[in-house]
Structure 1
Amino acid sequence: MSQENQIYTVSIYTENNIGLLNRISAIFQRRHINIESIVSSVSEIKGVSRWTIVVKVTEEQIKKIIGQIEKQVEVIKAFYHTDDETIHQESCLFKIKSDLLFDERQIQNIIKDSNANIVTVNKKFFVLEKSGRRQELDELHQKLKPFGIMQFVRSGRIAVTKDEMKISEMLLAFKN
């Protein structure tokens, strides 16, 4: 078992109950583990939520954490995966002054080269959207920073596994 800290993506399938977020985050807090990102969304099965949590821990720690998470009544199943075992993305939005879009050729080139999308434009500002790996988003942020970013927001990681997860049958049983 690896004793080195590495990035793990935790996928948790749950019933959608009030208070569960507090109890799950407390599992990490008690171990002094910082949550890098957390996303909650609907899953492939109606009535079941999927949480995606990113943490940097040892394999021994993540196994203990998964065990604690699965003790929560509303948790159907929890999994952990390394970056190599997942396909993952993040999204971000940049709000920038509109005059720069028209006056700065360099910004137009940055937008084109980064494959970012213009979401909206008005007289005062425009909004860019970019999805990709965290490194790509960080690079775009660094390129746009000198022009003055009015607002910036980034989502947490969303991920799917490269291999089939053995949750499908379990979720179908839950549904019935």
Structure 2
Amino acid sequence: MSDITKYTISIYTENNVGLLNRVSAIFLKRHIDILSFSTSQSEIPDVFRFIVVVKMTESGVKKIVQQIEKQIDVIKAFYHTDEETIFQESALYKVKSSSLFEERQIQNMIKDSHANIVTVSPEFFVIEKTGFRHETEALRKSLAPYGLLQFVRSGRISITKEKMGISEILNTFKQQNKD
């Protein structure tokens, strides 16, 4: 049996309505759990990048990438292991303000985790932490006893360590759209 591995799938697309539903349907039909999902503008104007994190076999991820690339708005899709990428997540933590002033250890937690306070009000303060999932989760667990009012974490953002060759593909795409 093949090894189950965590893969980051990068999907370069045109920004068209309905693509997200079609891409997510590919995973849904195959009962593949998406661990993380994010999207943003890519390095090429008018081209967007979806980042999808899944755990599966390499043969399975190859099939998924092939299915994704069949979507009309998809320019190119890639998959990489954690070792082949540089990745992070961001998290925001809303904590009641009284804790910041009454519980000295909170200031130490923030400092020790390399997090930042982004806003303070009389009722609450907000901390921002960027790092690996286990780091943002550890800070969440540490803050929970002190009045954690809200918590949100982004999906993974990543870039590859090696050149993907996507820039040439995207520049060709951009040039074709101008003609």
Return the TM-score normalized by structure 1.
0.98
Between 158-167 and 2-11, the greater mean CA deviation after superposition: 2-11
Q: For residue 28 of structure 2, what is the aligned residue in structure 1?
A: 29
Structure-2 separation of matches of 1:5 and 1:138? 23
Cross-structure match for 2:109? 110
| Mapped pair 1:15 → 2:14 | yes
For 2:156, the equivalent position in structure 1 comes to 157
Supply the distance in 2 between the matched residues of 1:148 and 1:78 (Cα, whole angstroms).
42
Question: Are 2:99 and 2:147, in contact at CA under 8 Å, matched by a contact in 1?
Answer: no
SS at match of 1:142: helix
Unpaired runs of at least 5, structure 2:
none
Please give the secondary structure, in 2, of the residue aligned with 1:123.
Answer: coil
Question: Which amino acid counterpart does residue 157 of structure 2 have in structure 1?
Answer: I
Whole-Å Cα distance in 1 between the matches of residues 138 and 129 of structure 2? 11
* Runs (4+) off by over 6 Å: none
The CA deviation at 1:146 is 1.4
Q: Distance in 1 between matches of 2:91 and 2:159?
A: 19
Counting only pairs closer than 5 Å after superposition, residues 25-64 of structure 1 correspond to structure 2 as 25-64=24-63
State the SS of the aligned residue for 2:65: helix
Distance 1:135 1:171 in 2: 34
Post-superposition offset of 1:147: 1.1
Query: In the TM superposition, what whole-angstrom CA distance separates every residue of 1:101-136 from its partner, at most 9, and x where no partner exists?
Result: 111101011011111100100100000000001111
Local SS of the residue matching 2:168: helix
CA distance in 2, matches of 1:84, 1:7: 10
State the TM-score, normalized to the length of structure 2: 0.96
- Percent same amino acid at aligned positions? 62
1:37 positional shift: 1.0
Distance 2:29 2:147 in 1: 39
How many aligned residue pairs are there?
175
1:65 shift after superposition: 0.2
RMSD: 0.8
In structure 2, the residue matched to 1:89 is 88
The amino acid of 2:68's aligned partner reads I
